[in-house]
Structure 1
Amino acid sequence: MGVVNVTPDSFSDGGKYLQPQSALEQAKRLVAAGADILDIGGESTRPFADPVPLEEELTRVIPAIVLIRQHLPHIPISIDTYKAQVAEAALDAGADIINDISGLRFEPEMISLAREREVPVVVMHMKGRPRDMQLSPHYDDVLGEIEAFFKERLETLTTSGIDLEKIILDPGIGFGKRFEDNLTILRELKRFLRLGRPLLVGPSRKAFIGQITGRPPEERDAGTMGAVAWSVLQGAHILRVHNVAMARDLLAVIQTISARKGPSYG
């Protein structure tokens, strides 16, 4: 999943792809590099970010989606939003997937929209909201609490008429998580496989990578690949990244090594 941030203030590439034509050019680069899905968002959800008004978010994402869909008719597009009206307009413009950081909690209309359109939904775990999620987050049992959240969401959404096969789970690396929480989630990622749904992991250029490497966001791709490699080996199904070319190379090496049988000794 390649990231296209149509925002002026994203922590990693703010302002680069704010104009529809720039977003299209980036989308083309990501697809050429091997992206299977494009994730388009018009509101930065970095820590301490302020919410974006509805009309502003629509103005940012809809022209970009229309243009990308026109030029890249076959690539799946996910709309990264927690606003039902933005998601609806994005689906009308050609998007295929709803990627909601709130797990379809902030706006009840999002559940009915997903049910009616029968589209895949990414259900992410987050404690709080972007503007306050990193203000001293605390867990007694981070894995248990995320798993309980996923179970509740799966029950609520399927009871509401959303097809279980349409649901993707995202543990929300960096969203209301401490440094050690992010490491624990990645270390024990296989635990969430028992819920029977695909896992999306988004470690790309996150703060915990910076804490480990000491590098600013624009220099965290190599560190990100360490987290991507680990996530793949733990069973992750979708990797949300900024540097698709690097991730593709990494995956090619892992897949080639794992497919080859080594020599037999005795």
Structure 2
Amino acid sequence: MGQWHRLVEPMGLLYGDAAVTAVRQGTAQWLMGGDVAFSAVRLIEGAQLSAPRPVSDIPAGWQGELARVVAPVSAAGLPAGAQVMGILNATPDSFSDGGQHDTSEAAVQAGRAMVAAGCRVLDIGGESTRPGSAVITPAQEWERVGPVITALRQAVPQAALSVDTRNGLVMERALAAGAAVINDVTALRHDPGALPLLAGHTCGIVLMHMRGTPQDMEQYAVYEDVACEVVRELGERVDAAEAAGIARSRLMVDPGFGFAKTAAQNVELLRRCLLLANLGCRVVFALSRKRMIGDMTGETAPAARDAGTQAASLQAMPLGQPVLRVHDVPGMMQGVRVWQALYAAKA
């Protein structure tokens, strides 16, 4: 478990003038260098969780762990500040929008609309990773996403392009075509060549938490403490990336909602998402239209889950400079702007 044996769980969030005053008085600290302060913590050592205590009562031996959740995060290849990442699946079998963007023309039209709505990041995927999805070859995946990347690079040059892939061949070609971020659902575990390949580039990288594969992950949804275990397992992937020569400033982390997690575990992970601050990386939330939103709302149609997606995604806003990956960009942009009008008042 190494450096991840100890975790600090921020609590008692403060916003606006109340946050500014509390930080000045020494009764709160800024979370991830952002606009939200925390006034209390739980200290976690192994499986032991302390009772909540004020930040002024943290033992001296925990200053290193506290520093991780206070330190600002880097932009990691994307524009600074909270960002909405628009989903463009160039696949025939994605659970929500399969087949909608599987031509360059359709992808460009959708990408332009997302950018017009305020989105500055587009995430292009060519392989479905829904539970039980079919496996395709890297060459087939590139046939789907290559033309889309090229077309979007020309049509919306102001947008940063992210490519959702676990295959080194696709990563290398996507970066050559102008992608700014590689988003890997396996946290660079699937392709042995991915770590050394990306060490030779400067792109941003998203490490997502998942156990097993999309075909068998549901059997691995066994945790004693899902929030702590997800953070620690992601921490091990951060360590692996750094050991391969990838700077932490290039890394983002995604807790992998819906991947090797039950409905109850997804809710618990979302409820305690501030634990992700321990990783010292920008956080990506990819909740859009997922089954967990349906489990919480009773909505069976994925395309009708956007309001639930927005409510759940806003839980990430205190985490420094979050990236919210969604299908419905205009709706999520509205949610972010309302949150910022209410709470982003740091002075």
SS of the residue 2:326 aligns to: coil
State the distance in 2 between where 1:144 and 1:154 align: 15
SS of the residue 2:88 aligns to: strand
State the distance in 2 between where 1:171 and 1:210 align: 19
Amino acid at match of 1:228: S
State the distance in 2 between where 1:259 and 1:133 align: 38
- Pick the aligned partner of 1:219 from 278, 289, 304: 304
2:22 corresponding residue in structure 1: none
RCO comparison, higher one (Cα < 8 Å, 6+): 2
* Structure 1 contact 5–41 (Cα < 8 Å) conserved: yes
Task: Pick the structure with more helix per residue.
Answer: 1
2:342 corresponding residue in structure 1: 257
Shift of 1:242: 0.6
SS of the residue 1:134 aligns to: helix
1:37 corresponding residue in structure 2: 121
Residue 292 of structure 2 is aligned to residue 208 of structure 1 = yes
SS of the residue 1:199 aligns to: strand
Amino acid at match of 2:115: V
Counterparts in 2 of 1:234 and 1:76: CA distance versus 1, 3 Å: closer
| Aligned residue pairs, count | 261
State the distance in 2 between where 1:167 and 1:113 align: 15
Shift of 1:160: 1.0
Q: Which runs of 5+ in 1 are unaligned?
A: 262-266
2:179 corresponding residue in structure 1: 95
Q: Which portions of structure 1, spanning 4 or more consecutive aligned residues, are displaced by more than 3 angstroms? A: 233-236
Counterparts in 2 of 1:234 and 1:97: CA distance versus 1, 3 Å: closer
State the distance in 2 between where 1:152 and 1:23 align: 35
Counterparts in 2 of 1:260 and 1:114: CA distance versus 1, 3 Å: closer
* Structure 2 contact 211–220 (Cα < 8 Å) conserved: no
Deviations, residues 13-64 of structure 1 (Å, cap 9, x unaligned)? 1101111111111111111111121000000111110211222111100000
Q: Which has the larger radius of gyration?
A: 2
State the distance in 1 between where 2:205 and 2:165 align: 11
- Pick the aligned partner of 2:201 from 99, 117, 121: 117
**Normalization by structure 1: what TM-score?**
0.94
Amino acid at match of 1:222: A
1:16 corresponding residue in structure 2: 100
Shift of 1:146: 1.2
Q: Which runs of 5+ in 2 are unaligned?
A: 1-84
Amino acid at match of 2:312: A
State the distance in 2 between where 1:223 and 1:51 align: 30
1:186 corresponding residue in structure 2: 270
State the distance in 2 between where 1:42 and 1:230 align: 28
State the distance in 1 between where 2:87 and 2:334 align: 17
State the distance in 2 between where 1:243 and 1:129 align: 27
**Normalization by structure 2: what TM-score?**
0.73
State the distance in 2 between where 1:162 and 1:12 align: 33
Deviations, residues 54-86 of structure 1 (Å, cap 9, x unaligned)? 221111000000000011112110110000001
* Structure 1 contact 69–94 (Cα < 8 Å) conserved: yes
State the distance in 1 between where 2:171 and 2:183 align: 9
State the distance in 1 between where 2:220 and 2:176 align: 39
Deviations, residues 167-196 of structure 1 (Å, cap 9, x unaligned)? 001110111111111111111111110221
Shift of 1:229: 1.9
Residue 309 of structure 2 is aligned to residue 237 of structure 1 = no
* Structure 1 contact 201–236 (Cα < 8 Å) conserved: no
SS of the residue 2:282 aligns to: coil
Residue 89 of structure 2 is aligned to residue 5 of structure 1 = yes
State the distance in 2 between where 1:211 and 1:156 align: 34
Residue 156 of structure 2 is aligned to residue 72 of structure 1 = yes
State the distance in 1 between where 2:176 and 2:318 align: 36
Amino acid at match of 2:257: I
Task: Pick the structure with more strand per residue.
Answer: 2
Shift of 1:157: 1.0
* Structure 1 contact 204–242 (Cα < 8 Å) conserved: yes
In terms of mean alpha carbon deviation, does 82-91 or 147-156 score higher? Answer: 147-156
* Structure 1 contact 48–134 (Cα < 8 Å) conserved: no
State the distance in 2 between where 1:173 and 1:97 align: 20
Q: Sequence identity of aligned pairs in percent?
A: 39
